[in-house]
Amino acid sequence: MPREDGKIKMENKIKVGILSFQGSVEEHKKILNTFNDVEPIEVKTFSSLNKVDGIILPGGESTTISKLLKIFNLSVPLKERIKSGMPVWGTCAGLILLAKNIEKETPHLALMDISVKRNAYGTQINSFVTTKKIDEVSKEKIPLVFIRAPWIESVESKVKILLEINGHIVAAKQKNMLATSFHPELTDNNEFHKYFINMIREYKNKNFF
Ligand code: GLN
């Protein structure tokens, strides 16, 4: 509930976690700070994980982030919270962490019914930017940044495909789990973050009543 001066009390803000071991943490934080009812929280410990209403798994290097999750004993509690319904959004490496199948590799959190191909677009020099309209997310076209990006080779029927480019799936959703091959945090467009924050808002309302 907004106060008379228009500010939102800290305890009423939506607490959006960013897994903060490695990768594009600051960039997500900067975009989350454009919403005055959101408080970004860096998650590196069990107690910080417990504070958040939803979590972003950022881009970076999926193998490194996965190792650090285990070293810091966060892998199991994070998996449990996601299974209990907490919204999660994996961008790029984060998408790889969520996948149940990774081509030629052992999966990490193994939660989402998607099969993923790492570095599917090639190396760093094959990184690219494009703009697309994603009906579920916004009315306008939004910029999409791909950096050594994976794509989703196939999904099971429980998964909703949000965007395909040239026959490859690059955004998908399964219940409380959102996954994108690209990096909305590296643009100045906050529509995708707005969409994820709404997923968290719905989850919070459902749990409250
Ligand atoms: N290539 C990275 C991986 O496989 C992901 C790249 C990114 O997150 N931008 O983990």
CA dihedral (30, 32, 36, 40) in degrees, to 10, reads -100
pLDDT recorded at residue 208: 67
pLDDT tens digits along 120-135: 998 888 889 999 999 9
pLDDT tens digits along 22-74: 999 999 999 999 999 999 999 999 999 999 999 999 999 999 999 999 999 99
* 3-class secondary-structure state, position 122: coil
Checking if the pLDDT of 169 tops 90, the result is yes
Share of the chain above pLDDT 90, in %: 89
Helices (H), 72-143: 75-83, 93-98
Tell me which DSSP letter residue 119 carries: T
When pLDDT is averaged across residues 144-161 and rounded to a whole number, the result is 96
Distance 124 CA to ligand 1 centre (A): 10
pLDDT recorded at residue 11: 79
Nearest to 78 by CA among 38, 146, 143, 20: 20
Checking if the pLDDT of 96 tops 70, the result is yes
Catalytic residues: 92, 183, 185
Ligand 1 in contact with 116 (CB < 6 A)? no
Ligand 1 in contact with 94 (CB < 6 A)? no
pLDDT recorded at residue 10: 79
When pLDDT is averaged across residues 82-98 and rounded to a whole number, the result is 97
Joined tokens for residue 70: 């285990």
pTM for the whole structure: 0.94
Q: Domain of residue 177: give its range.
A: 3-208
Checking if the pLDDT of 7 tops 80, the result is no
Ligand 1 in contact with 96 (CB < 6 A)? yes
What's the CATH number where 128 sits?
Answer: 3.40.50.880
Distance 60 CA to ligand 1 centre (A): 5
Beta pairing class for 128-133 and 14-19:
unpaired
The DSSP annotation for 120-138 comes to: TT-SGGG-EEEEEE-TTT-
Checking if the pLDDT of 6 tops 80, the result is no
Provide the domain count of the chain: 1
Distance 19 CA to ligand 1 centre (A): 15
Joined tokens for residue 92: 């790029």
The residue count of the chain comes to 209
When pLDDT is averaged across residues 80-89 and rounded to a whole number, the result is 97
> How many beta carbons lie within 10 A of that of residue 183, not counting itself?
26
* 3-class secondary-structure state, position 25: helix
